[in-house]
Amino acid sequence: MFGIFGTIDNPLGNAFGEAGGYASVESGFGLLMTNVVRLITISAGLWSFANLLIAGFTYITANAEAEKLVQAWAKIWQSLIGLIIIVGTFALTGIISKLLFGSYTTILNPVIYGPGSAN
């Protein structure tokens, strides 16, 4: 039966080992780890950005109270340092990957070869 919205195909393949699936010997573990790193990175970036917004709001509403201003500035700097660390780790990983493997994305998008793989 044809649904009202049609069908949606999984872009990663199915779980039974088709090209790109999590159960695939060639890419399963690497794909899982890549997705875990992406989830952690996105969560950390959103957390830092939310803290930056909250600290900015605290700074605006401090009404020249020294204690609140100091706390707001500390939180702003901590959020900015967190964002710099997130971006810096990706840049450092890209540089190390280029030096060791000749490609900027080798470490960030690993391919694990197993039995029966072409390489």
| Tens of pLDDT, residue by residue, the chain (119 residues) | 566 777 766 665 555 545 555 666 566 676 777 778 888 888 998 999 999 999 999 999 988 889 999 999 999 999 999 899 988 988 898 899 899 888 888 877 766 665 555 55
Alpha helices in the chain (DSSP H): 28-60, 66-101
Cα 43 to Cα 9, 29, 50, 77, distances in angstroms:
26, 21, 10, 19
DSSP state of 90: H
pTM above 0.75, yes or no: no
